[in-house]
Amino acid sequence: MEYTAEIICVGTELLLGSVVNTDAMDVSKALSELGINVYYHTVVGDNPDRLKAAVELAKNRADIIITTGGLGPTYDDLTKQTLAESFGKKLIFHEDQAERVRGFFRHLNKTGKMTDNNLLQAWFPEDSTILENSCGTAPGCAFLSEGKHVIMLPGPPRECRAMLKSGVVPYLLALSDSHILSHNIRVFGMGESAVEERLHDLMLSLTNPTLAPYAQTAEMSLRLTAKANGPEECERMMKPILNDVLAILGDVVYGVDVDSLEEACINHLKEKGLTLACGESCTGGLLSKRLTDIPGSSAAFSGGVVAYSNRAKTSFLDVPSELLSLKGAVSPEVAVSMAEGAMNRFGSDIAIGITGLAGPDSDGSDIPVGTVYIALAAGTSRFIKKMSFGNYDRDRVRTAAASNALDMLRRCLTGLKPAPEIII
């Protein structure tokens, strides 16, 4: 059967704009991957009456009601009590859960002191399935009443996300006997609208598997999801679609089921047993930072130099001071020289050099703000790319510059022709 779900997020901090509602996004994403329709999100404060009103509405328009927040130990955590009332259920004390909470405090402090309000986390609506919380003290729960599936999740994003995976998805999958598998197709160098244009007909023609685009900063991804009786069948259904997508998009796809450009690059480097170094000016360490975000990157990343000043470019990357005065710090020649310097000084197989004007202010020269030169040195080969991000702010210039550097590296490592000058 086709299920419809509604998400109710509880928390005054959301209504004050103190925090962004990532829970609603995470729950929605999980549900859409399960093929469950979501027609409404509602956010209410820590107010039982308004929460009850939202629940009454949801009862009349959804089969599944998922709440986030209000499961904690403080006086204003009222979600379980309110939902129990809405569905005419008593709250039941679970001794095993109480013991778990006590144990948590014993572990937390020598004295094992715990205020009694923490035991609120051991009370659940009758006939509830308890959803364990792997990152916090407040468990979630789920029950079926009046033909509605009610699922309550904790508010802290990490706890909510973990419980979605460990508790909610299995619970919802059990509603049908079908199995769900997804592949994440990562795209860099083609805008979302251009991708959607190329895939529009395919996306519309699909019902199962489904193909959904997700926008990211300076890149995008496509999520291919199949629903079938078993994983093998899911894979069998997705294979031809995946091949179609790869054929249609070509080499702007930098990976499938990989998390980021930097992860793809680190993986390629490790496979080939190569090492990378970088010399950064305008990106100021962002490229190194992103590469070292990846666990185990030390095996492939030798290191980097953030050379803002000409002095640093000369003394750390052996950029000739004549070259700097002759061509200027923001020039293709200096970018190449920075890459070569990093390669030699770190003794790496490959190196990237980036120099440019991130802005907002010009350097007084006639070089427009947003101009960035990216050079890649690999053994004796040299690649150079000029980017013009005139309409970007400092942040986006730096992010796009680092991303384009990583894409150049990815293309070089996979034997692809260097990318055309794409402005993301």
- Nearest alpha-carbon partner for 350 in 264, 263, 269: 269
Q: Which stretch binds its own copies (CB under 8 A): 89-97, 229-237, 356-364, 405-413?
A: 356-364
Distance CA 4, CA 18 (A): 30
Q: What is the dihedral of CA 99, 104, 105, 110, to 10 degrees?
A: 110
Binding status of residue 367 toward its own copies by CB under 8 A: no
350 - beta bridge partners?
276, 378
Residue 198 burial (C-beta neighbours within 10 Å; 0-12, 13-18, 19+)? middle
Q: Which stretch binds its own copies (CB under 8 A): 49-57, 83-91, 95-103, 145-153?
A: 49-57
Binding status of residue 312 toward its own copies by CB under 8 A: yes
Binding status of residue 96 toward its own copies by CB under 8 A: no
Residues 66, 307, 338, 412: which binds its own copies (CB under 8 A)?
307
CA atoms 115, 161, 45, 86: torsion sign: negative
Instruction: Give the phi and the psi of residue 302 in degrees, each rounded to 5.
Output: -75, -35
Binding status of residue 166 toward its own copies by CB under 8 A: no
Shortest gap between Cβ of 120 and its own copies (angstroms)? 17
Residues 208, 217, 243, 298: which binds its own copies (CB under 8 A)?
298
Shortest gap between Cβ of 232 and its own copies (angstroms)? 27
Q: Which is nearer to its own copies, 20 or 326 (CB)?
A: 20
Binding status of residue 45 toward its own copies by CB under 8 A: yes
DSSP for 35-48, written as a single string: T-EEEEEEEE-S-H
Binding status of residue 284 toward its own copies by CB under 8 A: yes
Binding status of residue 302 toward its own copies by CB under 8 A: yes
Binding status of residue 383 toward its own copies by CB under 8 A: no
Binding status of residue 359 toward its own copies by CB under 8 A: yes
Distance CA 355, CA 278 (A): 11
Q: Which stretch binds its own copies (CB under 8 A): 137-145, 194-202, 264-272, 391-399?
A: 391-399
Residue 405 burial (C-beta neighbours within 10 Å; 0-12, 13-18, 19+)? buried
Q: Which is nearer to its own copies, 28 or 129 (CB)?
A: 28
Residues 114, 180, 199, 305: which binds its own copies (CB under 8 A)?
305
Q: Which is nearer to its own copies, 42 or 118 (CB)?
A: 42
DSSP for 173-214, written as a single string: HTTSS-EEEEEEEEE-SS-HHHHHHHHHHHHHH-SSSEEEEE
- Nearest alpha-carbon partner for 43 in 60, 19, 75, 73: 19
Shortest gap between Cβ of 379 and its own copies (angstroms)? 20
Distance CA 45, CA 16 (A): 9
Q: Which stretch binds its own copies (CB under 8 A): 19-27, 76-84, 95-103, 330-338?
A: 19-27
Number of residues that bind its own copies (CB under 8 A): 72
**3-state per-residue secondary structure call for 334-391:** HHHHHHHHHHHHHCCCEEEEEEECCCCCCCCCCCCCCEEEEEEEECCEEEEEEEECCC
Amino acid 296 reads: G
Binding status of residue 48 toward its own copies by CB under 8 A: no
Binding status of residue 16 toward its own copies by CB under 8 A: yes
Binding status of residue 26 toward its own copies by CB under 8 A: yes
Binding status of residue 87 toward its own copies by CB under 8 A: no
Residues 48, 73, 191, 303: which binds its own copies (CB under 8 A)?
303
Binding status of residue 330 toward its own copies by CB under 8 A: no
Q: Which stretch binds its own copies (CB under 8 A): 37-45, 87-95, 120-128, 403-411?
A: 37-45
Distance CA 261, CA 267 (A): 10
- Nearest alpha-carbon partner for 224 in 252, 187, 275, 250: 187
Which residues ranging from 184 to 203 are in contact with its own copies (CB under 8 A)?
none
